[in-house]
A and B are shown apart, each in its own frame.
Chain A
Amino acid sequence: MKLAVVVQRYGANISGGAELHAQYITEQLSHHADVTVLTTCATDYISWRNELPATKEQVGRVLVRRFPVHHERNPESFARHSTRVFDRTHSINDELAWLDSEGPASRALIRYIRTNAEDFDFFIFFSYRYYHAFHGVLAAAHRAVLVPTAERDAALGLNIFGQIFRNARAIMYNSFEEQILINAVSDNAHVPSVVVGVGSKVPQHTAPERFRRKFKIDHPFIIYVGRVDANKGCKQLFEYFIRYATNVSGRLSLVLIGNSVLPIPAHERIHHLGFTSDKDKFDGMAAAELLVIPSQYESLSMATLEAWGLGRPVLANGHCDVLKGQCLRSNAGLYYDNYEEFAEALHALETSSPLRKGLGHNGRRFFSRHYAWPVINRKYLTMLERLKKHDVATNGTHKLEKVPGWWTRRQRRLPPANDIIKALPTGPAPNARRPPRNSRRR
């Protein structure tokens, strides 16, 4: 089988959830198929500046082809277009202009996909919201498998993305909540799909004591792993934790791992270690009492899965449907909606060792059952085989949705994307917790 993974950025030093997700999936699928990565020359997700050469290189078993970005992102133009499509009544052309201004606008990449569509069995597109995914799926819809990595943000409410959600051959969701959102916004329940997610390289053995010695932390602590950013809920986390440390707990500390774009409060019990190696990260997680995830917007938190893989409980932001749903389904984490719940839940986790052990045990089981690499690989390969069989049965015909005409694209009738998002269902997936018996047997 010959596969192409299409992603906005690719490389060893590139951080980013979707990019890392794509990298892991590529490496795993390369054991079962001939995989080529199609990506851009950009490494910065804000400017999309061409920083890598537009060449092809062999990285292990994977061939990586890079294509130049046609133009960098203009922040002012992007902001103006964002305001128009998110907050005002607009047209399809406005949305396309927004997509072009968001980037990474690589026409060479789209041209390559269109001309070489028949050379690959399937194209796996990551991150629905970028230029390459929208135009790429439309260029090779009959071979397009989409990994949306969608979260509840305004871009999901744009009308143009409904086309790719309905036209893709299959969709690999990260969570049940993401599936419900996309089904609701685009009415694409007929498209073959499966909730997969992604695994992680969780080590079998960790050395918590080594971590404690190295960073001189000898008291119990909770850990946050990821970019320290207000968008990730870190500001609220600091506020809550300082209150908790002042009023409730006299010994618990907060350890932060990851680059910071937010001033970290000078508090004796908040330790920022910056970006660390994977070994330090996993050892730190193993040494921690629990992992805290304050982000409201997550399509799938890899740190959460890693903590569960290491048998550590999680305290998550309850406003994030995905995290809340996963906590409920796994029985491996608590969640909070406000400070009172944060304090109570953290206190329960801090003081009750059996509770921590019970949640950690459930987390480990949940991780090995749903997010171990053999499970992920099997889901991908099963879906691709299914599509291939369908191709043989239907002689490779794939019915495409009609593209809006010249006049329709210019009519400003589409409601603001934010209004669409407000109308979408909220909360954790209700029926996803207990899958029906017959589906489990299958």
Chain B
Amino acid sequence: MSDFSIRAPSVDVEEIMRHIKTRINDKRGVDYTEQQIQELATVKLETFLDANNIRSDLREHYKRSRPAAKHLLGEFEDQTQASLSRGFFGRFLTLVRKILTRLLRLNPIINALHIQEKINQSRHQNELLNYELLNNLVVEITKLGIEVKNLKMQVVSLNSRLDFSERRERALENVVAYQPGTGRRDSKATSRLDDAESVEKKQDSAETKPEPRRRRRRRGRRRPTGDYKSATETGTKESAASTPPAAESAASTPPAAESAASTPPAAESAASAPPAAESAASAPPAAESAASTPPAAESAASAPPAAESAASAPPAPESAPSDNPAKEAPKAGAATESDHGDSDVVKP
């Protein structure tokens, strides 16, 4: 999020809003906004997955496909016998029935047929209910499937945001953790410094020879990863000398050097973190985030503490006396920049 360069009489809200919208579009690219994603999700479900429509169609289809099953056993009601036929044949049957009723007991058979008919009806209804249940399950599963897809999309989106937040957090830590003048340092940096100081003392006690020291210029990120230990030792040697090492460490890590040139806190962090490998390891994420993700870059560049401190006390690092190595770092960094490619040897 970059800052606006506004002068009071020249504020134009329309232009600012256009700028804001353009920036959002640039950031998002072809990505959907959350609102759009939600709209798409709801519209899909409502328009294409109307459960009522699907269910009714399927039920009708089911009914049409099973007419035979329904009438397989026929319907048997109280008047079924009487309405079997009419006319002479009917009267004949009635007569026969009267005779037979005297001879046979038909009531149990009739009752059994009634029960059978009821069973048939309930079975048919159960089938319909089962089918409806099955259909509802299918609908729900489909809806869930779509919802799962949506959630997956959201998870992807959240992951990207989380990555961005982490990068931003790192960038902000680098900017805020070493504010000039406040003496604030995070515990990790303090422990780093303590370790470095203890190593420094050991080195000082070991190296009591007054020989002129020749030191090789460190190249923070180009160093192979296996050289961490030697890099630490070099760093401690450099930090044993008062100011130039800080300048070197600032110069040897290009991103940190850039930030050192621009903002005092970053300069301080670059100067006060002797292990070159660590500073090299910690600086690039800020630079990366500054380069790759606009929000982080903007927030890192325009974060209020950095911007305000840069605005309020910019001369401090440049004009401070040389007894404070941290404040001298930008100056030294600038000096080493000039002989960056010339030689690897710096005179004590």
Residues of chain A with a CB closer than 8 A to B8's CB: 354, 357-358, 361
Q: How far is the CA of A348 from the CA of B16 in the complex (A)?
A: 9
Residue B342 lies at the interface, judged by CB distance under 8 Å to chain A: no
Q: Which of A332, A340, A357 contacts B33 (CB 8 A)?
A: A340
Residues of chain B with a CB closer than 8 A to A358's CB: 6-11
Residue B89 lies at the interface, judged by CB distance under 8 Å to chain A: no
Residue B145 lies at the interface, judged by CB distance under 8 Å to chain A: no
Residue A362 lies at the interface, judged by CB distance under 8 Å to chain B: yes
Q: Which of A327, A338, A348, A351 contacts B304 (CB 8 A)?
A: A351
Which A337-363 residues have C-beta < 8 A from chain B? 338-341, 344-345, 347-348, 350-352, 354-355, 357-359, 361-362
Residue B13 lies at the interface, judged by CB distance under 8 Å to chain A: yes
User: Taking A340-B33, A351-B307 as contacts, is the C-beta distance between A328 and B13 under 8 angstroms?
Assistant: yes
Chain A facing B: main interface SS: helix
Residues of chain B with a CB closer than 8 A to A362's CB: 11
Once the chains bind, are A344 and B13 in contact (CB under 8 Å)? no
B165 to chain A, nearest CB (A): 6
Which B1-24 residues have C-beta < 8 A from chain A? 1, 3-14, 16-17, 20-21, 23-24
With contacts defined as CB atoms under 8 Å apart, how many contacts are there between chain A and chain B in the complex? 74
Q: How far is the CA of A350 from the CA of B299 in the complex (A)?
A: 12
Residue B302 lies at the interface, judged by CB distance under 8 Å to chain A: yes
Contact with B along A51-68 (1 / 0, CB 8 A): 000000000000000000
Once the chains bind, are A339 and B34 in contact (CB under 8 Å)? yes
Once the chains bind, are A348 and B11 in contact (CB under 8 Å)? no
Once the chains bind, are B4 and A350 in contact (CB under 8 Å)? no
Which A300-333 residues have C-beta < 8 A from chain B? 327-328, 331-333
- Pick from B11, B21, B34, B172 the residue with the most CB of A within 10 Å: B11
Contact with A along B277-305 (1 / 0, CB 8 A): 00000000000000000000001001110
A322 to chain B, nearest CB (A): 15
- Pick from A333, A339, A347 the residue with the most CB of B within 10 Å: A347
- Pick from A338, A344, A350 the residue with the most CB of B within 10 Å: A344
Residues of chain B with a CB closer than 8 A to A332's CB: 13
- Pick from A248, A327, A340, A341 the residue with the most CB of B within 10 Å: A340
How extensive is the interface on chain B, given as a class?
20 to 34
B211 to chain A, nearest CB (A): 50
Once the chains bind, are A251 and B3 in contact (CB under 8 Å)? no
Residues of chain B with a CB closer than 8 A to A340's CB: 24, 28, 33
Residues of chain B with a CB closer than 8 A to A338's CB: 33-35
Once the chains bind, are B24 and A352 in contact (CB under 8 Å)? no
Once the chains bind, are B12 and A331 in contact (CB under 8 Å)? yes
Which B161-183 residues have C-beta < 8 A from chain A? 161, 165, 172
Chain B facing A: main interface SS: helix
Q: How far is the CA of A347 from the CA of B296 in the complex (A)?
A: 13
Residues of chain A with a CB closer than 8 A to B7's CB: 354, 358
Once the chains bind, are B3 and A335 in contact (CB under 8 Å)? no
In the complex, residue of chain B having the shortest beta-carbon distance to the beta carbon of A347: B1
Residue A334 lies at the interface, judged by CB distance under 8 Å to chain B: yes
Contact with B along A410-437 (1 / 0, CB 8 A): 0000000000000000000000000000
User: Taking A344-B23, A347-B1, A352-B4 as contacts, is the C-beta distance between A327 and B33 under 8 angstroms?
Assistant: no
Q: Which of B4, B12, B299, B307 contacts A348 (CB 8 A)?
A: B4
Residues of chain A with a CB closer than 8 A to B307's CB: 351
Residue A116 lies at the interface, judged by CB distance under 8 Å to chain B: no
Once the chains bind, are B1 and A348 in contact (CB under 8 Å)? yes
Residues of chain B with a CB closer than 8 A to A348's CB: 1, 3-4, 16, 20
Q: Which of B13, B28, B303 contacts A331 (CB 8 A)?
A: B13
B275 to chain A, nearest CB (A): 28
Q: How far is the CA of A344 from the CA of B3 in the complex (A)?
A: 10
Q: How far is the CA of A362 from the CA of B17 in the complex (A)?
A: 16
Once the chains bind, are B20 and A345 in contact (CB under 8 Å)? yes
Residues of chain A with a CB closer than 8 A to B13's CB: 327-328, 331-334, 359
Residue A247 lies at the interface, judged by CB distance under 8 Å to chain B: yes
In the complex, residue of chain A having the shortest beta-carbon distance to the beta carbon of B34: A339
Contact with A along B70-97 (1 / 0, CB 8 A): 0000000000000000000000000000
Residues of chain B with a CB closer than 8 A to A341's CB: 17, 20-21, 24
Residues of chain B with a CB closer than 8 A to A350's CB: 304
Q: Which of A250, A328, A351 contacts B302 (CB 8 A)?
A: A351
In the complex, residue of chain A having the shortest beta-carbon distance to the beta carbon of B176: A250
Which A233-247 residues have C-beta < 8 A from chain B? 247
Once the chains bind, are A355 and B304 in contact (CB under 8 Å)? no
Contact with B along A133-161 (1 / 0, CB 8 A): 00000000000000000000000000000
A337 to chain B, nearest CB (A): 9
Residues of chain B with a CB closer than 8 A to A250's CB: 172
Once the chains bind, are A331 and B11 in contact (CB under 8 Å)? yes
Once the chains bind, are B23 and A355 in contact (CB under 8 Å)? no
Q: Which of A251, A334, A347, A357 contacts B16 (CB 8 A)?
A: A334
User: Taking A333-B13, A344-B24 as contacts, is the C-beta distance between A351 and B1 under 8 angstroms?
Assistant: yes
Q: How far is the CA of A250 from the CA of B303 in the complex (A)?
A: 10
Q: How far is the CA of A345 from the CA of B307 in the complex (A)?
A: 18
Residues of chain B with a CB closer than 8 A to A347's CB: 1
B294 to chain A, nearest CB (A): 11
- Pick from A251, A333, A348 the residue with the most CB of B within 10 Å: A348
Which B156-209 residues have C-beta < 8 A from chain A? 161, 165, 172
In the complex, residue of chain A having the shortest beta-carbon distance to the beta carbon of B12: A331
Residues of chain A with a CB closer than 8 A to B20's CB: 334, 341, 344-345, 348
Residues of chain B with a CB closer than 8 A to A247's CB: 161, 165
A307 to chain B, nearest CB (A): 15
Residues of B within 8 A of A (CB): 1, 3-14, 16-17, 20-21, 23-24, 28, 33-35, 161, 165, 172, 299, 302-304, 307
What are 17 A-B contacts with C-beta separation under 8 Å?
A: A248-B299, A328-B13, A331-B11, A338-B33, A340-B24, A341-B17, A341-B20, A344-B23, A348-B1, A351-B3, A351-B302, A352-B4, A355-B4, A355-B11, A358-B8, A358-B11, A361-B8
